[in-house]
Amino acid sequence: MRGFCAAKTQQLLSLIHSISPLPSVQWRAATSRLWSSSSSSEDDASGSSMLRHLTSKIKATGPISVAEYMREALTNPVMVRLRCFHVHHNETSYVILSLQGYYVKKNMLGPEGDFITSPEISQIFGELLGVWVVSEWMAAGRPKQLQLVELGPGKGSLASDILRVFTQLQPVLSAASVSLHLVEVSPVLSRLQAQTLIATGGEAEREDEPVYRYGQTAAGLPVSWYRRLEDVPSGFSIFLAHEFFDALPIHKFQRTERGWREVLVDVDPDRPGRLRFVVAPTPTLASRTLVQADESRDHVEVCAEGGVVIQQLARRVAKDGGAALIADYGHDGTKTDTFRGFKGHSLHDTLASPGCADLTADVDFSYVRRVAGRGVACLGPVAQRTFLKNMGIDVRMQVLLRNSDQSSREQLMSSYEFLTDGAKMGERFLFFGLLHPSRLVRPKMATGLKLEKKTPAQPPVAGFTEIRFA
């Protein structure tokens, strides 16, 4: 079994070696989780209107949870039209106030945006994930349908690199009807994804349609956009979530002498127009229900919204087959305060300019494992460096380096280092898999008439198992 799967992954990888660096995506070089200056007067104006909105809300109904603060700052969809009456001119006009959250209104990705992610750094990343998707589809017995579902696809670069792998592996995939499903809240990013991915398409006529955008790739694959995972049709699916869960709202809790208390966001009485963290004097519903009884840390962050998505993924994988691959900054239940804001190339006060800065918290994979439940098998987390090496990044690099000129070689090397170096994304970024339980059951293999006697090792899953490349 081990030999069979490893050989398949190697074979798939060798089939994509003829893909060369494409000029448009070639080594989208970057130096770090790149933060470039994005401050603009537009940012400042919408930042202060979001701040005013949050301040008046808090003044009216009391401090809000960190989760509510994040939800408003990142994904509030509202643009408000205010009617103003000018006394001097005796006329009425309208002012558009943007309360729109960071993800809803901005393209924040790429060297020209606020930050850069692995798929934007190198096409190798998407190619290896494409091989992973196809190898999991093969390991599931090559079902007739393959839905690739990406949560939070950003600029669409990962999906685009994977689709190129699918085209290359067409002889292998021809038995399946393949479709792409994107879960995206941002109208700005969904437009960008459409530009990258589809040749023809359109938008839904009504706002409440589950599929709000649709189209076909140049190769004829159907692509659909949804705001929520619930709206994606059921069926054998491979789900990908790259830097998605770290953008979802977290609750924060502090251990006190009187028990667990929720950390809330309040207006700062000493600094007008500023917000501050406070510890709730009494338990909240969240502090009563979301902290584990045996929790040993003094401060914990719980992403309940992410937990709901994980439960949905687990249910779907258990029922329809397939797998979910989650890749994110994270830890395995060891870290405490990871809530961070980023803006303009650097760390940014999480409570300053809401709506204009990225807010993120590391994914707690011990929580992911717990909420996924027993209906699925969990693998990982493993470090990105390990995952990519297991997927054959070194072999792929050698082929590309052989076929590149000097300057492409330098870019290749720097993006490789960025993805795999322990001090960069190699160790801080983790991969986690949810798989159908049958995937880890070793089928009984008859050798002659005798069944194997030894308890077999778990069958390998590409990326999570070391595979020696010849």
Stretch that binds ligand SAH, among 44-52, 87-95, 160-168, 236-244 (CB under 6 A): 236-244
Name the residue among 405, 463, 411 with its Cα closest to residue 433: 463
Contact pattern for ligand SAH over residues 54 through 83, marking x by CB under 6 A: ---------------------x--------
Stretch that binds ligand SAH, among 43-51, 185-193, 329-337, 415-423 (CB under 6 A): 185-193
Asked if residue 324 binds ligand SAH (CB under 6 A), the reply is no
Complex with ligand SAH: residue 101 or 460, whichever CB lies closer: 101
Asked if residue 103 binds ligand SAH (CB under 6 A), the reply is yes
Q: What angle do CA 284, 270, 72 make, to 5 degrees?
A: 45
Q: Which amino acid, 57? A: K
Complex with ligand SAH: residue 103 or 432, whichever CB lies closer: 103
Complex with ligand SAH: residue 114 or 261, whichever CB lies closer: 114
- Which residue in 119, 126, 306, 321 binds ligand SAH (CB under 6 A)? 119
Question: How many Cβ atoms from other residues are within 10 Å of residue 396's Cβ?
Answer: 22
- Which residue in 113, 126, 130, 152 binds ligand SAH (CB under 6 A)? 152
Asked if residue 153 binds ligand SAH (CB under 6 A), the reply is yes
Stretch that binds ligand SAH, among 88-96, 178-186, 409-417, 451-459 (CB under 6 A): 178-186
- Which residue in 6, 51, 148, 183 binds ligand SAH (CB under 6 A)? 183
Contact pattern for ligand SAH over residues 241 through 270, marking x by CB under 6 A: -xxx--xx----------------------
For 184, residues 6+ apart whose C-beta sits below 8 A from its C-beta are 152, 153, 190, 193, 225, 226, 227
- Which residue in 43, 72, 120, 328 binds ligand SAH (CB under 6 A)? 120
Stretch that binds ligand SAH, among 33-41, 177-185, 345-353, 447-455 (CB under 6 A): 177-185
Name the residue among 224, 186, 182 with its Cα closest to residue 202: 224
Burial tier of 434 (Cβ tally within 10 Å: 0-12, 13-18, 19+): buried
For 83, residues 6+ apart whose C-beta sits below 8 A from its C-beta are 92, 93, 94
Minimum CB separation of residue 76 from ligand SAH in Å reads 11
Asked if residue 329 binds ligand SAH (CB under 6 A), the reply is no
First vs last C-alpha separation in the chain: 17
Name the residue among 276, 282, 281, 288 with its Cα closest to residue 251: 288
Name the residue among 293, 259, 306 with its Cα closest to residue 279: 259
Minimum CB separation of residue 25 from ligand SAH in Å reads 13
Contact yes or no for 265/66 (Cβ under 8 A): yes
Name the residue among 383, 465, 466 with its Cα closest to residue 424: 383
Asked if residue 154 binds ligand SAH (CB under 6 A), the reply is yes
Distances (CA, A) of 92 to 98, 191, 443: 20, 34, 74
CA distance 253 to 264: 9
Stretch that binds ligand SAH, among 36-44, 84-92, 117-125, 206-214 (CB under 6 A): 117-125
Asked if residue 304 binds ligand SAH (CB under 6 A), the reply is no
- Which residue in 72, 161, 184, 301 binds ligand SAH (CB under 6 A)? 184
For 182, residues 6+ apart whose C-beta sits below 8 A from its C-beta are 149, 150, 153, 156, 159, 190, 193, 223, 224, 225, 226
Asked if residue 38 binds ligand SAH (CB under 6 A), the reply is no
Chain residues in the site for ligand SAH (CB under 6 A): 75, 103, 109, 117, 119-120, 152-154, 183-186, 189, 242-244, 247-248
